[in-house]
Chain A
Amino acid sequence: MPSAIIEHLCYWYPSWAGSAPAALFDVNLELVPGLTMLGGDSGAGKSTLLRLLNGLVPHFHGGRIAGRVEVTGLDVLTTPTRDLARHVGFVFQESQLGFVRGVVAREVAAGPQNLGFGPREVEAMVAAALDRVGIGGMGGRRLSTLSGGERQRVALAGALAAAPEVVALDEPTSQLDEAGTRALEAILGDLASSGHTVVVAEQRTGRLGGSGSFRLVMVEGGQLSSEGSPRVAGSVAAGGAAGPPGMEVWALRGVTAGIAGRPVVPDVDLCGCEGEILVLTGPNGAGKTTLLRTIAGLLPPIAGRVERAPGRDRGASRGSRIAYLPQDPGTLLHRSSVLDEIAQTLRWSGVSDDPMRILGQLGLAALARRDPRDLSGGQRQRAALATVLVGRPELALLDEPTRGMDAASRVGLSKTLRALADEGASVVLATHDSELAAELGDRVVLVQNGRVTAAAGPAAAGPAVASKVAAL
């Protein structure tokens, strides 16, 4: 018997600008126990479809809706989300933004408490949920001390605590390293085989491809386009380095990088050259972002020194600035259109460039006039990239640049970064995306357990990366 039935469903988000296109159009879908993956490009409607299952669409977001949705026998259009929460667990893409408590066990307990379970039942539910996601010993830990992957597991435990029949996850691997992804894959496989209906929206369905048998539903332009086998992420073969790297652009000399005097990665000697793409890879919480921020000059080193090559004559059109993409693209996007945001970078930095060039390279030309807040997660990530990469910076520091990106966008990003390097920029990526690291990196450095290591096993960094790990 299906857990969810969606019939002739059309949905429009509320819009101030008159008629907006339908986010979902004539969707017909039946979900049964087991694992279902919703694939498709950024902005296709996957997240909206997922939010339909627990009634956030339309009850929280508003807008216009037509058709029929039934989940575990309840009519979603007339049942409030808080009542559907007993039957549908939900894990958000930015799961940490939804945390309301400071300690893991209490955070996981919030849902069952809201549903009115007694203290002893709640305690048992919390223990079972933590065990199920493999963090049984972390109940007393503070959320602020957890890595991104661990927080993702806490969010999943929170969704599972009240034992819902349906579990929906929005881009759950976007912040996870390889080990975290494999662990999540096992958890989802276990849930699916124990009779839960698990629905996952995922750009790169191949990342969770080992979850045993699953059903793949492709979403395109708000409609279900097909059902089929998982699509493997598009090749990002943008070619290796065009030639030997040029002069040194930056260097860390005996640097101990850390935050507020607390060392995270001690004693690092590392440099980046013109025309080179250097990839910092490793598990969640290893210190990749700390290193990147230290290179950018945003974090002073605890020991050692950070060197930047003195400015060289690069011609009028070339900027001498640093392009820095933080993990949260929201910190860069505030103006009323993507084009405005890019123009702002050019104004502030005093560099000339054609905004449409970078927008075209990243596949955003059609979205140039759109408000960044109206874009999907993957589109926002590309808009943030365009904002920092415009003006041909001499050093580009990008933190998890492929987060939330579909396969086509990743190809566009790779070509853009390779072109930037070919023009003489030094590019540094911090990523746990081993495919990107293997295919794009001229050098790959593994950051693990607070150390920058010269050698890495395939299990740690992925077999494709291992061959490229740099000898330091």
Chain B
Amino acid sequence: MPPPRRCLLLSRRGLSRPAALGLWVLAGLTMALATNDPVVRGLVLVAAWVLLGRRLVPGRRLRPLAIGVGFLVLITVAVNGLLSHAGASVVVSLPAWLPLLGGPITVEGFAFGVGISLGLAAAVSVCAALSLVIEPTDLADALPACLSRTGAALGAALNLLPSLASSFVEMRDTQRLRGWRVRGVRTLVEVVVPVLGGAIESSLQLGEAMEARAFGSGARVGGLVAQRSADLVVGAGALVALSVFVVLRVVGAIGVWYPYPTLGVPDYGLAALLPPLLLVLVGFVVSESPG
């Protein structure tokens, strides 16, 4: 065997990019869900989209996420605004005989809906970074040794998701040239079923390949991960932001925002905005995807 030579900057110690990003996501998710303050939630949402915009994995698209999040926001605001019927500032009163909708429609109802939707949008967008800013396989690689087999199985399973989408496009194109046309749900089945069948076949081939490479054999070592100084900054920054947020939340510096009965501005000092602002700043440090 030739003398050992380092082919990558590899280490089992320190913080990898996926682990650093995992800490960032944990901090963002905590801030989005542990308070209902719309300003804090809004800043977390901004932090997520700044990161997604800057460090999207080549080949991934933001549009489906944007459409999904937008739809979520609209539905939440509409449902809360039309169904809560609480609050002092009445916009319009709908007749009482209208099921569910009947009663006063208030500004406070819509405002509370905005607060909830910001939380949901922030949580979804922050978590999306795990699949849009890093490869699922990188995330699986970064798991500790005791979870490495789970990670390999998870990575393999996650690999199938993008391949399902691409095989649908490929199959649709190929069948279209054979004369296939969409004429209702039944014709769609003619492509969807083969795509699923193909996915199962691919899974079997993948299973065969994993078996041939000793998957499930003796004690397995953890994955080797690349480490950069930027990852350390991101991980440390996310931890600081999370810690400060938890402390502020415990001491009541970040309180509970409640718009009823009259809509008001959240009552807190500027210190409460430091954790989400730090999250935004840290997002700028996240390094590019390797390779």
Could you count the A-B residue pairs with CB atoms below 8 Å apart for me: how many are there?
193
Asked if A127 meets B198 with Cβ closer than 8 Å, knowing A56-B208, A102-B137, A348-B179, the reply is no
CB <8 Å contact, B291 and A141 = yes
CB <8 Å contact, A98 and B193 = no
The chain A residue sitting closest to B159, CB to CB, is A100
| A-chain residues with CB within 8 Å of residue B4 when the two chains form the complex | 120, 123-124, 127
* A111 close to chain B: CB less than 8 A: yes
* B261 close to chain A: CB less than 8 A: no
The chain B residue sitting closest to A109, CB to CB, is B224
8 closest Cβ pairs, A-B complex? A98-B209, A348-B179, A349-B179, A124-B4, A142-B291, A85-B214, A139-B7, A334-B194
Q: Which of B2, B179, B218, B291 contacts A145 (CB 8 A)?
A: B291
Asked if A124 meets B1 with Cβ closer than 8 Å, knowing A102-B135, A106-B224, A136-B7, the reply is yes
CB <8 Å contact, B178 and A326 = no
Asked if A110 meets B10 with Cβ closer than 8 Å, knowing A92-B205, A115-B218, A331-B167, the reply is no
The chain A residue sitting closest to B6, CB to CB, is A123
Segment with Cβ contacts to A, from B169-177, B229-237, B246-254? B169-177
A429 to chain B, nearest CB (A): 16
Asked if A90 meets B221 with Cβ closer than 8 Å, knowing A139-B7, A140-B291, A331-B198, the reply is no
Asked if A123 meets B7 with Cβ closer than 8 Å, knowing A81-B211, A102-B138, A298-B173, the reply is yes
| B-chain residues with CB within 8 Å of residue A103 when the two chains form the complex | 137-138, 290-291
Q: Within B141-171, which residues are at the interface with A (CB < 8 Å)?
A: 141, 148, 152, 155-156, 159, 167, 170-171
The chain B residue sitting closest to A54, CB to CB, is B212
CB <8 Å contact, B194 and A114 = no
| A-chain residues with CB within 8 Å of residue B221 when the two chains form the complex | 113, 116-119, 122
Asked if A140 meets B290 with Cβ closer than 8 Å, knowing A82-B214, A82-B217, A331-B171, the reply is yes
* A86 close to chain B: CB less than 8 A: yes
CB <8 Å contact, A101 and B205 = no
A254 to chain B, nearest CB (A): 24
Q: Complex Cα distance A158/B220, Å?
A: 16
* B264 close to chain A: CB less than 8 A: no
Residues of B in contact with A (beta carbons under 8 Å apart): 1-8, 10, 12, 59, 135, 137-138, 141, 148, 152, 155-156, 159, 167, 170-171, 173-175, 177-181, 193-194, 197-198, 201-202, 205-224, 226, 290-291
* A131 close to chain B: CB less than 8 A: yes
User: Which size bracket describes the interface of A in this complex?
Assistant: 35 or more
Q: Complex Cα distance A158/B212, Å?
A: 11
CB <8 Å contact, B220 and A116 = yes
CB <8 Å contact, B7 and A127 = yes
CB <8 Å contact, A115 and B224 = no
The chain A residue sitting closest to B181, CB to CB, is A348
Asked if A348 meets B180 with Cβ closer than 8 Å, knowing A110-B152, A122-B221, the reply is yes
| B-chain residues with CB within 8 Å of residue A60 when the two chains form the complex | 207-208, 211
Q: Which of A83, A142, A347 contacts B217 (CB 8 A)?
A: A83
A-B contact pairs, 9 of them (CB 8 A): A60-B208, A100-B159, A111-B214, A113-B148, A114-B220, A117-B221, A119-B224, A142-B135, A349-B179
* A466 close to chain B: CB less than 8 A: no
* A126 close to chain B: CB less than 8 A: yes
A342 to chain B, nearest CB (A): 10
B10 to chain A, nearest CB (A): 6
B162 to chain A, nearest CB (A): 10
Q: Within A114-164, which residues are at the interface with B (CB < 8 Å)?
A: 114-120, 122-128, 130-131, 136, 139-142, 144-145, 158, 162-163
A140 to chain B, nearest CB (A): 5
The chain B residue sitting closest to A144, CB to CB, is B59
Segment with Cβ contacts to B, from A223-231, A270-278, A279-287, A316-324? A316-324
